[in-house]
């Protein structure tokens, strides 16, 4: 098997996250079992008891989400064949599993739609970019554009949106593992999306660059991969 670059392997993170998640799955069910037992015994669930059970649900679900995202991060570059992928197929697969929220539209401008990398890495890359653009949007409606093209020695993939954008002083920080610019109570996520993007881009010897958004607000992230790997 022709696997992805060895530098993308994180076996320790994978093993620890996998083992811990087995226990977290049990913790996810315990509040529900407690609630059901109390109701069977005729106890009214209200006040501080109801609030504490609700908090147990929230925090165990959040921990499970973080472990899932760590597992995704640890799998980048592992156990997959590097082959030609089509960005349009990648986007279709992602949207089949997770459709865009109502009010959002996705525009594609794929001038050069093929590149060689691991299929799982391609899915993780585009899924992370899309999820980040949607999750951090500040309006019920939004537009996201994904484009690809050849540019001298690079194959270029870019994504832009009309959301609130990221202040320039934070644009390096958001690529760090488990980093969010908003409190975790305000956003459903662990802060791993752009960390996934940076890991994949680095793994395939590429680079990232922030550019002004063509919408006048929002983010515009450009990812460049070395051109010699392109298959025409």
- CATH number of the domain where residue 100 is located: 3.30.565.10
- The answer to whether residue 181 is domain-embedded is yes
pLDDT tier for residue 156 given thresholds of 50, 70 and 90: very high
Task: Give the per-residue pLDDT at 198.
Answer: 93
What average pLDDT is seen over the chain? Answer: 84
Same domain, 106 and 187: yes
- The answer to whether residue 35 is domain-embedded is yes
Task: Give the per-residue pLDDT at 229.
Answer: 45
**Of 161 and 30, the one with more pLDDT:** 161
Same domain, 107 and 62: no
Residue 7 has pLDDT above 60, yes or no: no
Same domain, 121 and 99: yes
Give the orientation angle of helix 47-75 with respect to helix 119-135, to 10 degrees: 140
Task: Give the per-residue pLDDT at 47.
Answer: 87
- The answer to whether residue 86 is domain-embedded is yes
Asked if residue 111 lies in contact with residue 75, where contact means CB atoms within 8 angstroms, the answer is no
Task: Give the per-residue pLDDT at 8.
Answer: 40
**Of 174 and 51, the one with more pLDDT:** 51
Same domain, 100 and 186: yes
Of 75, 90, 111, the residue at which a domain comes to its end is: 75
Closest CA to 76 of 132, 14, 29, 129: 14
- The answer to whether residue 1 is domain-embedded is no
Residue 41 has pLDDT above 50, yes or no: yes
Same domain, 29 and 44: yes
Q: How far apart are CA 59 and CA 170, in angstroms?
A: 27
- The answer to whether residue 51 is domain-embedded is yes
**Of 36 and 110, the one with more pLDDT:** 110
Task: Give the per-residue pLDDT at 12.
Answer: 63
Same domain, 219 and 170: yes
Same domain, 45 and 110: no
- The answer to whether residue 87 is domain-embedded is yes
pLDDT digits (tens, 9 = 90+) for 130-148: 998 998 888 999 999 999 9
Residue whose structure tokens are 């320790």: 12
pLDDT digits (tens, 9 = 90+) for 163-213: 998 888 887 887 777 666 455 555 555 678 889 999 999 999 999 999 999
Same domain, 177 and 193: yes
Residue 85 has pLDDT above 90, yes or no: yes
Of 75, 99, 134, the residue at which a domain comes to its end is: 75
pLDDT tier for residue 20 given thresholds of 50, 70 and 90: confident
Most confident range, picked from 17-21, 150-154, 177-181, 187-191: 150-154
Instruction: Provide the domain count of the chain.
Output: 2
The parent domain of residue 25 ranges over 6-75
- The answer to whether residue 125 is domain-embedded is yes
Residue 232 has pLDDT above 50, yes or no: no
Asked if residue 203 lies in contact with residue 76, where contact means CB atoms within 8 angstroms, the answer is yes
pLDDT tier for residue 89 given thresholds of 50, 70 and 90: very high
Same domain, 119 and 65: no
Same domain, 194 and 133: yes
Same domain, 25 and 99: no
pLDDT digits (tens, 9 = 90+) for 97-122: 999 999 999 999 999 889 999 999 99
Residue 1 has pLDDT above 80, yes or no: no
**Would you state the torsion angle of the CA atoms of residues 126, 14, 190, 194, taken in this order, to the nearest 10 degrees?**
-40
Q: How far apart are CA 147 and CA 133, in angstroms?
A: 14
- The answer to whether residue 71 is domain-embedded is yes
Of 58, 75, 92, the residue at which a domain comes to its end is: 75
Same domain, 48 and 88: no
């Amino acid at each position: 098997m022709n696997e992805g670059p060895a530098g993308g392997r994180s076996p320790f993170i994978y093993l620890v996250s996998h083992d811990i998640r087995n226990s977290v799955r049990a913790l996810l069910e315990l509040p529900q079992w407690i609630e059901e037992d109390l109701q069977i015994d005729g106890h009214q669930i209200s006040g501080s008891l109801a609030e504490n059970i609700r908090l147990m649900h929230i925090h165990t679900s959040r921990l499970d989400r973080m472990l899932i995202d760590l597992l995704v991060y640890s799998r980048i570059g592992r156990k997959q064949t590097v082959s030609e992928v089509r960005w349009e197929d990648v986007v279709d697969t992602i949207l089949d599993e997770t459709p865009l929220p109502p009010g959002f539209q996705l525009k594609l401008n794929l001038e050069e739609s093929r590149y060689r990398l691991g299929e799982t890495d391609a899915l993780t890359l585009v899924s992370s970019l899309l999820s980040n653009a949607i999750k951090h949007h500040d309006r019920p409606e939004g537009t996201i554009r994904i484009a690809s093209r050849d540019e001298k020695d690079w194959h270029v993939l870019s994504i832009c949106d009309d959301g609130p954008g990221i202040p320039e002083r934070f644009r390096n920080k958001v690529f760090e593992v488990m980093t969010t610019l908003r409190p975790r109570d305000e956003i459903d996520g662990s802060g791993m999306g752009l960390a996934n993007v940076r890991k994949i881009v680095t793994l395939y010897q590429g680079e990232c660059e922030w550019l002004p958004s063509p919408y006048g607000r929002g983010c515009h992230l450009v990812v460049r991969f070395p051109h010699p790997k392109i298959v025409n």
